[in-house]
Amino acid sequence: MIRAAPPYGDRMVVSLIAAVAAAVFYGVATVLQALGTRRTERSASEGLDPRLLVRVFKTWPFVAGTLLDLAGFAAQLVALAELPVFAVEAAQAANLAVTAVVAVPLLGVTLGRREWGAVGAVCVGLALLGLSAGAEGPSATGDAFRYALLGSVAVIALLGMWAARRPEPWRSRLLGLTAGLGFGLIALAGRVVTDVAIRDLWTDPAAWTVLLAGAVTLLMYATALQGGAVTAVAAALVVGETVLPAAVGIIFLGDHSRPGFVPVAAVGFVLAVAGAMALARFGEGGDPPAGGNSEADPADAANASAG
């Protein structure tokens, strides 16, 4: 017996729940991955060191965070089945609000009025995006677009290699921005994957984009988290994974809001992203070192005090 597809309203609700669930998974993963990178010995060489991934995967917090990232990506794919890219990526940027709330019981962080206001702005922004989003399934795209996504992995890798050789504080910020572009690229590739049969995935450039961009982006993200200016990394990550992918979705994939709801979508997008950036200091999984630079690495602060 063939079951009928769920009604449009039910599918939209499922996609909205999936987008929020992905933000929760990603938010908790941020805390765990930041803890894992802080327990890992820094690379002595400049630039991107692939061996860093081997070291961080020896720590259970980073492994647990990566598993949550995979769960978040699965939920993100469910959300992209009905929601436009700009709505889903704004929801993913809102994972910083989740990180902030989770940091209260787990890390003893205290949220002030500004932080709670930012959390509220994110929630309102997501509500407005959910209200205004039109129904969007995976768009039919040609091979040119899919190979362009695959080629973009090389571009992002080159940008990451260049950024990794910049001096701080720009090194971590640029790596965070580039990692954000990588996460956005993964979302775009996931959006256009229409057939999940193994035989078709093997020959689909978009599927290879997800795999290769995932490895490159994870390396850049771990390097940025370990580099020092972790608070700025979070803000740069938000910009990278929302603005450009949202524009690509609108221009090339036919994303749009419900008729007459363009202003509502715009306000919701701005509120969600601005609120997430206001919470960027929680992207490192806790408060900045007391009495020090808010962008300083806690490990450096500890070494300085010990010396």
Query: Is 299 contained in some domain?
Result: no
Res 9: pLDDT: 61
Residues 82 and 185 sit within 8 Å (Cβ to Cβ): no
167 vs 247: CA distance, rounded Å? 30
Q: What tens digit of pLDDT does each residue of 250-288 get?
A: 778 877 777 788 888 888 888 888 887 777 666 555 444
Work out how many domains the chain is built from and give that number. 1
Query: Is 18 contained in some domain?
Result: yes
296 vs 286: CA distance, rounded Å? 12
Contacts of 125 (CB under 8 A, 6+ apart): 90, 94, 267, 268, 269, 270, 271, 272, 273, 274, 275
Winning range, highest mean pLDDT, from 20-34, 82-96, 99-113, 172-186: 172-186
Q: Tell me the residue range of the domain where 138 lies.
A: 12-287
Query: Is 68 contained in some domain?
Result: yes
Confidence grade of residue 44 (pLDDT, cut at 50, 70, 90): low
Query: Is 305 contained in some domain?
Result: no
Query: Is 168 contained in some domain?
Result: yes
Q: What tens digit of pLDDT does each residue of 224-251 get?
A: 877 655 556 777 787 788 878 888 887 7
Whole-prediction pTM:
0.74
Q: What tens digit of pLDDT does each residue of 117-144 get?
A: 888 888 888 778 777 766 554 556 788 9
Q: What tens digit of pLDDT does each residue of 98-123 get?
A: 777 776 776 566 777 887 888 888 88
Q: What tens digit of pLDDT does each residue of 57-70 get?
A: 999 989 999 999 99
Contacts of 279 (CB under 8 A, 6+ apart): 96, 97, 99, 100, 115, 118, 119, 122, 234
Residues 11 and 264 sit within 8 Å (Cβ to Cβ): no
300 vs 89: CA distance, rounded Å? 33
Percent of the chain with pLDDT over 90: 20
**Two tokens, residue 195:** 């057939």
Q: What tens digit of pLDDT does each residue of 166-209 get?
A: 887 788 888 988 999 999 999 899 888 877 667 777 888 989 99
Query: Is 294 contained in some domain?
Result: no
Residues 68 and 28 sit within 8 Å (Cβ to Cβ): yes
Give the dihedral of Cα atoms 95, 101, 103, 108; nearest 10 deg: 170
Res 39: pLDDT: 80
Residue 291 backbone class (left: φ over 0; alpha: ψ -120 to 50; beta: rest): left
AA letter at 230: V
Smallest CA-to-CA distance from 257 within 101, 135, 126, 88 is with 135
Residues 117 and 160 sit within 8 Å (Cβ to Cβ): no
Query: Is 237 contained in some domain?
Result: yes
DSSP structure class, residue 47: S
Query: Is 1 contained in some domain?
Result: no
